[in-house]
Amino acid sequence: MPLSPEEVFAPLAHDLEVCGLTSRLLHGAPGVQNPDAWRVLVVSGVKVGTLEFDEELSTETLGMALWPVAFATQAAILENAQLLSGAVWPRCHTGHRHPMELSQEGEHDWPAWSCPKNPPYRRPVGQHPGP
Ligand SMILES: [Zn+2]
């Protein structure tokens, strides 16, 4: 059974919630041919963009399906930061004002967020500790 878009998104919903943002997925997206593979992402009441959930990746591991969705989710939120009260997501540790970045590397903890200044500071996607 392929993972549903909602199952793939669940770790991101967690990381948004602990950072004080709510999230919702609306089925489909304007003008797409396969609405089952698309969702409109609503963060804290703002439609920030659309997400594609690759069906082939959804039959692989959660990590494989999650990485591109995490990338697109972060991009959509940072692009809409002004509408989201200056949201920096996901927050880095205390004293760092930048967002964490999605790491390409790692094995047991992949996919993970890492500090752009101190890459060994990482947290698996879905296990962000909050601010
Ligand atoms: Zn940092």
Q: What is the pLDDT of residues 41-95, one digit of tens each?
A: 999 999 999 999 998 888 889 999 999 999 999 999 999 999 998 889 999 999 9
H or E stretch covering 102:
strand 101-102
What is the spatial distance between Cα 11 and Cα 97, in angstroms, rounded to a whole number?
23
Q: Does any domain span residue 131?
A: no
What is the 53 CA–ligand 1 centroid distance (Å)?
Answer: 29
Q: Does any domain span residue 117?
A: yes
Q: Does any domain span residue 130?
A: no
What is the 121 CA–ligand 1 centroid distance (Å)?
Answer: 8
What is the 57 CA–ligand 1 centroid distance (Å)?
Answer: 30
What is the 15 CA–ligand 1 centroid distance (Å)?
Answer: 16
Q: Does any domain span residue 106?
A: yes
What is the 65 CA–ligand 1 centroid distance (Å)?
Answer: 25
pTM of the model: 0.95
What is the 10 CA–ligand 1 centroid distance (Å)?
Answer: 24
Look at the chain and report how many structural domains it folds into. Answer: 1
Alpha-carbon torsion (112, 116, 117, 119), positive or negative? positive
Q: Does any domain span residue 82?
A: yes
What is the 32 CA–ligand 1 centroid distance (Å)?
Answer: 37
Q: Does any domain span residue 25?
A: yes
**Cβ pair 93, 115 in contact under 8 A:** yes
Alpha-carbon torsion (115, 118, 121, 124), positive or negative? positive
Q: Which pLDDT tens digit goes with each residue over 17-43?
A: 999 999 999 999 999 999 999 999 999
Residues 6 or more apart in contact with residue 46 via CB below 8 angstroms: 80, 83, 84
Where in the sequence is the domain holding 54, given as residue range(s)? 5-124
